[in-house]
Structure 1
Amino acid sequence: MQLIHCPWCGPREEVEFHYGGQAEVAYPDDPAALSDREWAEFVFYRDNPKGPFAERWSHATGCRKWFNAVRDTRTYEFLATYRVGDPVPAVVRRHQEVSA
């Protein structure tokens, strides 16, 4: 069982969490003005990189709060977790430099 570090509750088993998609995706300023194609692109089109990737997660059976995590999509390793609105932790930038 993998442990995921909740920024509020600390390390917990992965079964307590739910994936919420790509992090740092800005909601459209005027969603009603989007065409059907633009709306579909906003809802369904996301990055799919190999390596570190910023994601949204929810501690569904714990504090129920949303947070961001950077996970390596090659290994499933969580490199960092941080509260929404906080900057990406330095450990992630160092990992990206080493991987490049």
Structure 2
Amino acid sequence: MTLTTGQALASIFVMAAVTFLTRALPFLLFGRGDSAPKIVLYLGRVLPPAVIAMLIVYCLKGVTFATLGGWLPSLIAGVAAVVLHLWKGNELISIFGATAIYMVLVQAVFA
């Protein structure tokens, strides 16, 4: 589908306005006080573990226990992610390392 010039300009304007508002909204709502509101501090403390927990549940929802290949690669990759994170303390290394281990196990070992 090809956009007309007007549609393209309208799309660019809407995207720019949304981007600007998402950057400016915290300053408009909370001002430039010394500390953030308590609800923002609470959400900053609680949301990251909650999101990680939801991602873990989502990633493991398709695990089957009928065969070793159905659950062992996920378990090994999950343990590898924890070990890599405790060892290096870097989220990207943990994610990429565990993903690589999982893909090797699924594609080559438990194929």
Task: Decide which structure has greater strand share.
Answer: 1
Task: Decide which structure has greater helix share.
Answer: 2
TM-score, normalised to structure 2's length? 0.28
TM-score, normalised to structure 1's length? 0.31
Higher relative contact order (CA 8 A, sep 6+): 1
Larger radius of gyration: 2
